[in-house]
Amino acid sequence: MGMLTPDDMERIAALCRKYDIPAAKVTGAQRLAFLGLPPERLAELKEELRIPDSLPHTRNRVHYVQACPGSTWCKYGTGNSLDLATRIEKIELNGPLPYKVKVGISGCRMCCCESWIRDVGLISQKNGWKMIFGGNGAGRPRIGDAVAEDLNDREAVALVEKCLNFYIENARYKTRSARFMERFGIEALKKGLFG
């Protein structure tokens, strides 16, 4: 989720100096990118960071969860987005996802994690979390649909799990949630989720 301690930052700075890397960036996906790394030194850096050549990919888990600092670190935060993100990363789904799923968790209505244009979005509001599904910010952008509001943390995690399992069961392989929702529609999704 892009969180770094002072020790992490010192280690990153030391690695940049050692490998002659001109800059490092926390990406939009909240990963660390070493910019300008000479390609011939990549294997050496991976070894030092203990990164295997191919990371294990668990198809029944969400791999991209972006969260703002939330109520823990931001004066505007009304919801603990970091805690919720950790819980959502641990969800075990009923099968492999049809395609990549990006989750954006915003700890207030300012929506710093662009929750409306993520496959799954959660936005903290006065009475709890609002859940959005089917957003996309790519070449064919789409604002997601509001699925439910006023969810506590437990309800939000449970609804994300239920919604993603519904997506697994009903979407075609390699169909992003935005295209799925254009075909399926919010009323059919709500009927499938809430009966």
Q: What is the pLDDT of residue 56?
A: 52
170 within 8 A of 161, measured Cβ to Cβ? no
User: How many CB atoms within 10 Å of residue 4?
Assistant: 12
Q: In the prediction, which pLDDT does 60 show?
A: 78
Q: What is the pLDDT of residue 137?
A: 93
- What is each CA distance from 55 to 39, 52, 83, in whole angstroms? 19, 6, 24
Beta strands (DSSP E) in the chain are: 23-26, 32-35, 64-67, 102-106, 120-125, 128-133, 145-151
CATH topology of domain 64-194: Sulfite Reductase Hemoprotein; domain 1 (3.30.413)
Beta strand pairing status for 145-151 and 128-133? antiparallel
Task: Name the residue ranges covered by the structural domains of the chain.
Answer: 6-49, 64-194
Write down the pLDDT at residue 64: 85
The tens-digit pLDDT sequence of the chain (195 residues) is 667 889 988 988 999 999 999 998 887 776 788 899 988 888 898 888 876 655 555 667 887 899 999 998 899 999 999 999 999 999 999 999 999 999 999 999 999 999 999 999 999 999 999 999 999 998 999 999 999 999 999 999 999 999 999 999 999 999 999 999 999 999 999 999 998
